[in-house]
Structure 1
């Protein structure tokens, strides 16, 4: 669709429908928008938009509402994502910068985004596979147990306990800790195996065996699927913002949100989008439970361009797309800044 005037009509229909929740008629468009054409011309444009599948008439003698296709054109033609106000930016910065660790950052972020967007907020934990290792701590726990603590550059902390074949020598543990950290600090977790192979040769057979135990524990930690986690907040917003028709279909949406595998698949697919803010609308989610929703996401965690995880908001098709996109992008940028610091 290339007719600029019809794009203006479509934009006006989307904005009015998002604002009022009521089907939009030609008379309302004339009264609320300075489109510079006659009511008859607007009716013709609306007929063309309906024929093209961009708007639809929900029932006889009603105005028109946007379709998935119409929302997609509206989102794609947004010239810019409107910036947040200075008070909103300050509020985000103050809330997130006071966080004490990664769990606190994620918890604050998801609650804040739910408040900003009035949607369901989603924050994905940074993946261990895409993180770099900042430090490994080895702590003797009793005579024959060793606590292995992994700390990543994103602030994520994982810990495991291993049983040693013999009594733990604290001097050996100190030596192992220093040697391991000297070789692995700053490396991506997927690169650790090669990094410590040469290191094992520097220790005697017994100490080398303990080193390999530590490496095996690290590898097992990386392999666990539980590392892929998402946190939700604002589920109650679904019952408030989508209108009565949406509330009647809320059950399948809630069921889909409970399936983390669904959200993780969507987040993974949206990570491949070139845009800084990605939007999936209705059936683009490819999940029956989410056909009445839209999902707005942005990557965070790496100022170099490749994101470690994503943050987003899910809400009804009739959402404030410019405002939601701006909020998601702003929270993602603050998350990146905090994790980089």
Structure 2
């Protein structure tokens, strides 16, 4: 679809104005926004043309127009300019460089930051470890009632869990438990670990004094390891979006956002429109909602995903720029970027 330069500018202004104020945009407002002289009548004619092309829609309650779903897609693919202010970049770098974060902490922190900075709902998916194979277990004592367990998989993924025991566990029990676990669990897929734990329960009872305490601790740790890492933040932000003033619609969306299985079904419907944005991002249109996704890597084999969910009327350039930069920062935390591999924005 070829638009004239004037049509492109007018359409871009309509999208940016509407995403900001949620009010239909009329010719008089556009006259004030445009940086070149043009009459109100000419603007109305151009808007009528854009409507015929399917980029704009006319509402029943106003003479102004709003972007259509197709219009948002056209904007993202052809007109959007992404940029992130230097103070925001510095703030993100500072947050993630303050200390060493675990995988779970990175997922939770990223989710919280995204929802706060976009005023939308954010979802962060950690890597799926269920298809990985356990290659090593270490159990490091802290004191008589606590220890740190470290699990390593064939993908290079490392996960740690601090155990706090109700009763003292001897160093001998910890050494014997580590040996037993490595003898019987190494080489087992994460998805099968819990079943395998039941099989070695009797061995633990025969070799360990505090076998019940250690069995319970490891079972809980493996359940967490094998579970899907999904964090959702900012659901209440939807309350302030005029598109979700219908309480029944809002309740349905909340149920979807709070259930990972429902969310996957919702996001993978055949009627959805998915538009790739570069190599990392994707826009998925689902009815009157949009989902922006951004992939990031923990290592060469594992990837996670940032998601922002909101109405089709969202500030795409800001959201996408933020997610893209955050993905780079997270990869930097895990040392994924080789020297010279960071984005141009990070080099600035």
Give TM-score scaled by structure 2 length.
Answer: 0.68
Contact residue 136 and residue 180 of structure 1 kept, 8 A = no
Give the match's secondary structure for 2:63: coil
Note the C-alpha offset of 1:48. 1.6
Distance 1:262 1:10, change over 3 A: farther
| Aligned Cα root-mean-square deviation (Å) | 4.2
Give the match's secondary structure for 1:298: strand
**Residue 237 (structure 2) pairs with residue 233 (structure 1):** no
Distance 1:172 1:50, change over 3 A: same
Distance 1:180 1:69 in 2: 56
Matched residue, 1:275: 279
1:178-217 equivalences under 5 Å are: none
Matched residue, 1:109: 110
Matched residue, 1:336: 331
Note the C-alpha offset of 1:279. 1.2
Matched residue, 2:296: 300
Note the C-alpha offset of 1:260. 0.8
**Residue 15 (structure 2) pairs with residue 17 (structure 1):** no
Note the C-alpha offset of 1:250. 2.1
Q: 2:318 aligns with which of 320, 323, 334?
A: 323
Matched residue, 1:247: 245
> Which sits farther off after the overlay, 25-34 or 248-257?
248-257
Distance 1:17 1:323 in 2: 14
**Residue 54 (structure 2) pairs with residue 53 (structure 1):** yes
Which sections of structure 2, spanning at least 5 residues, go unmatched? 142-147, 164-171, 193-202, 208-217, 337-348
Contact residue 267 and residue 310 of structure 1 kept, 8 A = no
Matched residue, 1:197: none
Note the C-alpha offset of 1:94. 2.2
Give the match's secondary structure for 1:77: helix
Distance 1:310 1:35 in 2: 42
Contact residue 271 and residue 299 of structure 1 kept, 8 A = no
Note the C-alpha offset of 1:138. 6.1
Contact residue 122 and residue 233 of structure 1 kept, 8 A = yes
Distance 1:310 1:276 in 2: 10
Distance 2:160 2:178 in 1: 20
The structure where helix makes up a greater share of residues is 1
1:250-269 equivalences under 5 Å are: 250-264=250-264
Distance 1:42 1:170, change over 3 A: closer
Give the match's secondary structure for 1:340: coil
Give the match's secondary structure for 1:280: strand
Distance 1:302 1:102, change over 3 A: closer
Distance 1:172 1:120, change over 3 A: closer
Contact residue 150 and residue 159 of structure 1 kept, 8 A = no
Give the match's secondary structure for 1:53: coil
Matched residue, 1:39: 40
Contact residue 136 and residue 148 of structure 1 kept, 8 A = yes
Distance 1:230 1:111 in 2: 12
Distance 1:261 1:78, change over 3 A: farther
Distance 2:79 2:275 in 1: 20
Q: How many residues align?
A: 291
